[in-house]
Amino acid sequence: MPFKPRRVCSCGKLVWAGELCPCQVKRKAEADRLRPTAHQRGYDSKWRRESKEFLALPQNRFCACGCGRIADCVDHKVPYRGDMKLFWDRSNWQPLASSPCHASRKQSRERQQ
C-alpha cells in the first residue's frame, strides 16, 4: 500500500500528509481563541428564526449546488466578513446541505480566496 510522502512545513519540520505540524496546531489554537463567538458574529436567535423561515420557502428546499440534497443551512454567497448589512441581505443567502456542500466544498473554496 503506497504512502503519501512527507511534506516540509513552513517551520522546516517534515510532516506526514494529512497531519498538522505542532506549530500549525499552535497557530490554529491561537486563531480560534481570538475569533469572536458565533453569537458575536451575528448567529443569534434572530438568525435562527430568519434562516428557518428562509429554508421553509418552497424555492429553498434543495441545496443550491445542485446535488439534490435537502437544504438544512443558509449560506452567505459572498462572505460578509463582519459587514452586518451584507449579513442580513437575503439576496446574498443561499440554501445548502450542511454536509458535504457547506462543510467542505464551500469552505475550502473560501479558504483559497
Query: For position 18, what pLDDT does the model report?
Result: 84
- What the block records as the C-alpha cell of 82 is 463582519
Query: For position 99, what pLDDT does the model report?
Result: 82
List all residues 6 or more positions away from 78 whose beta carbon is below 8 Å from its beta carbon. 86, 92
pTM: 0.71
Which residue do the cell numbers 443567502 mark? 93
- Average pLDDT for 98-106: 77
- Residue range 51-98, pLDDT digits in tens: 999 999 999 999 998 999 999 999 999 989 899 999 999 999 999 998
Q: Half-sphere exposure of residue 31, counting CA atoms within 13 Å on the CB side?
A: 6
Closest to 101 in 3D by CA, of 64, 50, 76: 64
Query: For position 102, what pLDDT does the model report?
Result: 78
Query: For position 15, what pLDDT does the model report?
Result: 93
Query: For position 3, what pLDDT does the model report?
Result: 78
Higher pLDDT, residue 106 or 103: 103
The 8-class DSSP code of residue 6 comes to P
- What the block records as the C-alpha cell of 3 is 504512502
DSSP three-state, residue 93? strand
- Residue range 4-57, pLDDT digits in tens: 889 999 899 999 988 999 999 999 999 999 999 999 999 999 999 999 999 999
Give the burial string for 80-100 (b: 16+ CB within 10 Å, else e).
beeeeeebeeeebbbbbbeee
